[in-house]
Amino acid sequence: MKNIVIIFFFFSFRIFAQNETKFYFIFNDSDISSIDIKRKINFFIENSNSKKISFELLHFTMKTEKSESWVLKKNLVAYKPSKIGCEFNSCTNISTIISVTKTEKSKIYIAGKQLDCSTGVETVSLPNKDESTIIDKINEEVNRIKDLKKNQTVYFLFNSPTNIEKPTLRFETDVLTFKESDKITLNPIVTGNIKSYEWTPATGLSCTDCKNPQLNLGESTKYSLTVKDSLGCNILTSNIDVKMEKNCLCGKDLSKVEIMFGKLPIKKFEIKNPSAIAEWEWRIISNQSGGYVFDVVASANCAKKFRVKVLRKNGGLIYDQYYDREEVDKRSRNSYHEKYPENFVFRIDLSSDETYTLIEDVEKEPYFIFEITSIDDNGDECLNKKYRSPKLRPTKCN
């Protein structure tokens, strides 16, 4: 039985090969399947006046489909898929097909997007893709070719081209900084039809073949992401440097900030002469001639924010200011940082009229206390790490 079927198809092909009238149905569409195409063509043939015509079904697709041939109403039908590649150009391919198969009175009917190139044959734009519209045109062409009494080729193009978009890959920042307790997900910015993701190294990643791995990292690591598009045409790689910072919390990580009295050779920090009669212990000299603006050099810790208070002898508050880390570390470009780049420098401005009057009243205000409180990553003031200075005497720079 199998041999009889093969002989039948071979004999059919021999008969129909003698008839050169062909209808080419060209599907430039990756979304449609071979099953749908064959169903459409069979419906067209069964409901049209076509007879002894060769139907060539050319399918440009990103999918893998199988060729197939069959006979319907004495029409020979051949489905021929072509998997498109990286450099696929619909105009070039379709115009080439037409150039080698066209006849003197060929026509092409286009449903969908118009071609951006010339085919060299008469072009007719179809108003829609309705089956009734296609069947009417098939019948018109059958009658036209019959009147011409010449074999012809006719083309029907269903043009819904696949957009082979070149992918892009980047990260919003080259360096990602986070705390060791933070929950981090890597978020590459990717466009295009991506088939595969590959992260290296695998250390600390929840997955290496997904787009957005979660991070469980114990140390700083540089990661590389490689993506490949669905056609395998484009392979892109981008890197991100993940910097892990230790937590800075009151309970265990954060140390006390202390003013460097007697620990650094700072001329504007003067200890009281033991023979002098005064309540203050250290004199701090303004960095401005005749003013009360003081640069206070202190030890550094891991905190990102600080609160500085200046208190009178009776505990009254005359200064209360918050500082960000960048205002006190070397990014502030204070002149002291040239000598002490690893230390904090707090600039304390006590030049308001009210404060000025209090400082000048030496008898009632013999000394002041500076307090520095660090604020941890949770936004809590570390009162257990609060620094209180010795008794200070703010003094103008003469």
Written as tens digits, the pLDDT of the chain (398 aa) is 333 333 333 333 333 344 478 999 999 998 899 999 999 999 999 999 999 999 999 999 988 999 999 999 999 999 999 988 777 888 999 999 999 999 999 999 999 999 888 899 999 999 999 999 999 999 999 999 999 988 899 999 999 887 667 889 999 999 998 877 778 899 999 998 888 999 999 999 999 999 999 998 778 899 999 999 877 778 999 999 999 888 888 988 799 999 999 999 999 999 999 998 999 999 999 987 778 999 999 999 999 999 999 999 999 999 999 999 999 999 999 999 999 999 999 999 999 989 989 999 999 999 999 999 999 988 999 999 999 999 999 998 86
Residue 237 lies in a domain: yes
Cis peptide before 201 (omega within 30 of 0): yes
Residues 202 and 85 in one domain: no
Residue pair 296/343 in contact (Cβ under 8 Å)? The answer is no
Residues in the chain: 398
Residue 255 lies in a domain: no
pLDDT at residue 16 in the model: 39
**Domains in the chain, number:** 3
In degrees and rounded to multiples of 5, residue 371 shows phi and psi of -120, 135
Q: What domain range includes position 148?
A: 2-159
Residue 262 lies in a domain: no
pLDDT at residue 268 in the model: 94
Residue pair 59/81 in contact (Cβ under 8 Å)? The answer is yes
Residue 258 lies in a domain: no
Residue 80 lies in a domain: yes
Strands 175-179 and 235-245: parallel
91 in helix, strand or coil? helix
Given 159, 181, 209, the domain boundary residue is: 159
Residues 273 and 373 in one domain: yes
pLDDT at residue 18 in the model: 43
| Core vs surface per residue 332-357: b (16+ CB within 10 A) or e | bebebbeebeebbbbbbebeeeebee
pLDDT at residue 233 in the model: 79
Residue pair 111/34 in contact (Cβ under 8 Å)? The answer is no
CATH number at 173 reads 2.60.40.10
Residues 96 and 198 in one domain: no
CA–CA separation, 51 vs 43, rounded Å?
14
Residues 13 and 151 in one domain: yes
CA–CA separation, 286 vs 284, rounded Å?
7
Q: Dig out the tokens for 48 from the structure.
A: 């049209």
pTM above 0.95, yes or no: no
Residues 190 and 81 in one domain: no
Residues 155 and 191 in one domain: no
Residue 252 lies in a domain: no
Given 116, 131, 159, the domain boundary residue is: 159
Residues 203 and 123 in one domain: no
